[in-house]
Amino acid sequence: MSAAAPRRRDARVVESVVAELHGLLGERVATGEAVRAAHGHGEGLQDPMLPDAVVFARSTEDVVTTVNAARRFGVPVIPFGVGTSLEGQIQALHGGISLDLSGMDRVIEVNEGDLDCRVEAGVTREALNHAIRDKGLFFPLDPGANATLGGMAATRASGTNAVRYGTMREVTLGLTVVTPQGEVIRTGTRARKSSAGYDLTRLYVGSEGTLGVITELQLRLFGIPEQIAAGLCQFETLRGAVEAVTVLLQMGIPLARIELLDELQIKACIAHSGLGGLAEQPTLFFEFHGSPAAVREQIEQVRAVADSFGGGAFDWAERQEDRTRLWTARHNAYWAARALKPGFESFATDACVPISRLADCILETREAAQASGLTCPIVGHVGDGNFHLLVLFRPDDAAERARADALVAGIAERALRMGGTITGEHGVGLHKLAHMAEEHGEALAVMRRIKRALDPDGLMNPGKTVPE
């Protein structure tokens, strides 16, 4: 939770850069308090840190204009998508310019034969899928929120389909990036592999806006499967559910999604999404992609494994509307959990461990959560060892906030002890800076040198991702 102390710029400097941007971009520059407040936090902890102004970019040229003006006046730039980040990535720690890319929402090209596309950074995952659905294609990454694809690349997001289709690291072929010096570079090509030079695409994917501003993405697409089946199975114990997942993965069954909801989370979803007929028991959500024969075979294999670990009857859904009902309930898990304690603040965090340690990590985390006395539902993309904890606490109770902070820190430390990482998909932002040295050791010094080399003035989303 630690972060560098805020450094506010001189008011006259801020007024000067805002005046210059007004002259260059007109009404696309906003300084009203309501607009700045909306860009001062994400969906995670509501600890607002307002920018001095918001620029609504419509093109890469607008981004260049903004970055150049900010550099001349020594003012920070914080890229902003639609504000769904959870770890403090978009808080304006030192004031500056929030660069809103949501208006850069064009699907530039779709190459059906090569299964790829090029989009602007403000295109959301749902908008892309709507644009390509009639071509028999889909973009598989689904972090739950309808995030922008630029933001998903910046945080190296993944989601419910990652167990089969990978993360943004695997599906991003290339990028257009505006550097801190105002240069426009393109990384990667449309080829599926390359041995030519440093892999700059992977450098910017996951950089959380600290090395440059992503304005366009070249992405892999996939054909819509011949058959899709979804279902859920409830288990007697949380350990049984997680250990069933471990065996399924060791068997190599090509599941598209495997999602875990613990007893508290499924209770919240039953109330929030009307999932009638379910018990308040640990629950696995599954999805299968493939030919009808392959899907039937996968279902039978899963059923046999689930039976041996205390799984109950399966509730299957093959029709689109039935699958949508199930996955909508899963996607609304965050809001369902928030509804358990109306008026409470929440801290959503994640960790990722080797699949063989997942049961131990989740169960230890649940024990710690129960000992804290806080309400803490668990949900996870357990197919790749990733799980999330939502900690609910009273915003005006300093003791509860302290227990929440300690609980979240304990998850990071536990994951590292078990050979994992402090975050599988949320990113570092502000909240996990304190654990970066423990995870990366001497490699953190190399990250700092990269940051200084590419952003020597420290103006690109300062105070995030790599501890100063």
Looking at residue 308, which CATH number applies to its domain? 3.30.70.2190
Q: Which pLDDT belongs to residue 6?
A: 53
Same domain, 158 and 71: no
**Among the ranges 4-8, 47-51, 119-123, which has the highest mean pLDDT value?**
119-123
| Rounded average pLDDT over 266-290 | 92
Same domain, 380 and 405: yes
Maximal CA-CA distance, the chain: 69
Answer with the one of 204, 223, 242 that is the final residue of a domain.
Answer: 223
Q: Which pLDDT belongs to residue 299?
A: 92
Same domain, 411 and 330: no
Answer with the one of 79, 103, 127 that is the final residue of a domain.
Answer: 103
β-strand partners of 351? 387
Is 452 contained in some domain?
no
Q: Are 163 and 430 in contact (CB under 8 A)?
A: no
Print the SS3 string covering the chain.
CCCCCCCCCCHHHHHHHHHHHHHHHHHHEECCHHHHHHCCCCCCCCCCCCCCEEEECCCHHHHHHHHHHHHHHCCCEEEECCCCCCCCCCCCECECEEEECCCCCCEEEEECCCCEEEEECCCEHHHHHHHHHHHCEECCCCCCCCCEHHHHHHCCCCCCCHHHHCCHHHHEEEEEEECCCCCEEEEECCCCCCCCCCCHHHHHCCCCCCCCEEEEEEEECEECCCEEEEEEEEECCHHHHHHHHHHHHHCCCCCCEEEEECHHHHHHHHHHHCCCCCCCCCEEEEEEEECHHHHHHHHHHHHHHHHHCCEEEEEEECCHHHHHHHHHHHHCHHHHHHCCCCCCEEEEEEEECCHHHHHHHHHHHHHHHHHHCCECCEEEEHHHCEEEEEEEECCCCHHHHHHHHHHHHHHHHHHHHCCCECCCCCCCCCCCHHHHHHHHCCHHHHHHHHHHHHCCCCCECCCCCCCC
Describe the strand order of the beta sheet including 116-120 as a list of residue ranges.
107-111, 116-120, 213-220, 172-178, 184-188
Q: What is the pTM of this model?
A: 0.93
Confidence of residue 349 (pLDDT cuts 50, 70, 90): very high
Task: Give the chain's domain count.
Answer: 4
Residue 118, φ and ψ in degrees, nearest 5? -125, 130
What rounded mean pLDDT belongs to the chain? Answer: 94
Same domain, 350 and 394: yes
**Of 45, 192, 213, which is closest to residue 111 (Cα–Cα)?**
192
8 pLDDT more than 80 = no
Same domain, 272 and 190: no
Confidence of residue 7 (pLDDT cuts 50, 70, 90): low
| Rounded average pLDDT over 27-43 | 95
Residues 191-237 pLDDT 10s: 999 999 999 999 999 999 999 999 999 999 999 999 999 989 999 99
Same domain, 202 and 263: no
CATH of the domain at 217: 3.30.465.10
Domain region containing 119: 107-223
2 pLDDT more than 60 = no
Alpha-carbon distance values, 465 to 115, 211, 461 (Å)? 32, 10, 9
Residues 69-98 pLDDT 10s: 999 999 999 999 999 999 999 999 999 999
Same domain, 119 and 217: yes
366 pLDDT more than 70 = yes
Confidence of residue 321 (pLDDT cuts 50, 70, 90): confident
CATH of the domain at 427: 3.30.70.2740
Give me the percent of the chain exceeding a pLDDT of 90: 86
Same domain, 290 and 239: yes
Is 462 contained in some domain?
no
Is 6 contained in some domain?
no
Identify the sign of the CA torsion 241, 309, 243, 143: negative
